[in-house]
Structure 1
Amino acid sequence: MTDTRREARARRRAQHHGLRLTKSRTRTSTDPRFSSYWLVEAQTRGLVAGGEWGWDLESITDFLDAFEVEA
């Protein structure tokens, strides 16, 4: 599966749980946040996953897998 499709799928899964998947807007490849993702609660905009520097897409999907098991 391509990264674009994986990202779209992760966005749909997050939305299903009331979360929003956000991606770093930085275009500087040396920035630690380059190509990083965060999960944010849609209503309160509170950070759910990703921490200060964000996670890669695989870590986000792993988190969503665990989140769905707990829910």
Structure 2
Amino acid sequence: MPQPLNIPGKRVRMTKWIHGRLCVARVEVEAVVPDEDPSEPCLEPATVKWLDELQRLADAGNVDALEQHGEVFVRRSA
């Protein structure tokens, strides 16, 4: 998980889902509710980049790498 910046506000944990063709991953990220606009939690740039990397792993079907970051659910045919 990326290191947070010093954005003033309350730190909260959020669940994000990464959808790939073969799998779906659930990861926990840290968000911040800014003091200046507490209407909703925001993701910091480093967290967004990390989620982009996880999306690339999901798109490539790299389940083993995704499992290092969260819970992975593999799609199976009926």
TM norm structure 1: 0.26
TM norm structure 2: 0.25
